[in-house]
């Protein structure tokens, strides 16, 4: 499946920890946009879409959440529960984010500016797209 889990280097000392994210250094793309989700209501499930071109790095910088990934053939559940654990999503993956803990903050670094035309928001359209794009 078109994802990768990365361990982010912690710069820790007696004061605590710090993590740096640098485009084309510890993550393999340029970052054009950063956004984050917080105050997520209990039992909410978000996402329900795939991207055609966008690459993203997801980090749950506080608390935890689950990411369900689906490439049209296989589904996998990933837990994000540490600020030093990154999930890189390549294009062509249906995603649903769920089981947000209280106080969870899910931060996303994205390779492109926000563009609604890059989204596939209908699951049957996604399955068609997977067939057409030979995945």
- Which residues are catalytic, by number? 49
CB of 115 to ligand T46, least distance (A): 9
- Measure the CA–CA gap between 20 and 45, rounded to whole angstroms: 29
- Measure the CA–CA gap between 6 and 9, rounded to whole angstroms: 9
**Secondary structure letter of residue 23 according to DSSP:** B
**Secondary structure letter of residue 103 according to DSSP:** T
Residue 40 sits in the site that holds ligand T46 (CB under 6 A): no
CB atoms within 10 A of CB 88: 17
Q: Which of 26, 28, 46, 84 binds ligand T46 (CB under 6 A)?
A: 46
Residue 104 sits in the site that holds ligand T46 (CB under 6 A): no
Which residue, 9 or 30, has its beta carbon nearer to ligand T46? Answer: 30
Residues that bind ligand T46 in the complex, under the rule CB under 6 A: 33, 35, 37, 46-47, 56, 95, 97, 108, 114
């Amino acid at each position: 499946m078109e994802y990768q889990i990365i361990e982010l280097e912690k710069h820790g000392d007696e004061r605590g920890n710090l993590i740096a994210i640098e485009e084309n250094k510890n993550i393999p793309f340029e970052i054009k946009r950063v956004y984050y989700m917080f105050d997520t209501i209990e039992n909410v499930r978000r996402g329900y879409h795939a991207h055609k071109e966008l690459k993203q790095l997801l980090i749950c910088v506080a608390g935890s959440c689950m990411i369900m990934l689906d490439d049209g053939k296989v589904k996998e559940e990933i837990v994000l529960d540490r600020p030093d654990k990154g999930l890189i999503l390549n294009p062509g993956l249906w995603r649903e984010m769920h089981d947000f803990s209280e106080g969870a903050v899910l931060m996303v670094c994205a390779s492109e500016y926000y563009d609604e035309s890059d989204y596939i928001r209908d699951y049957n359209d996604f399955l068609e797209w997977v067939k057409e794009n030979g995945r």
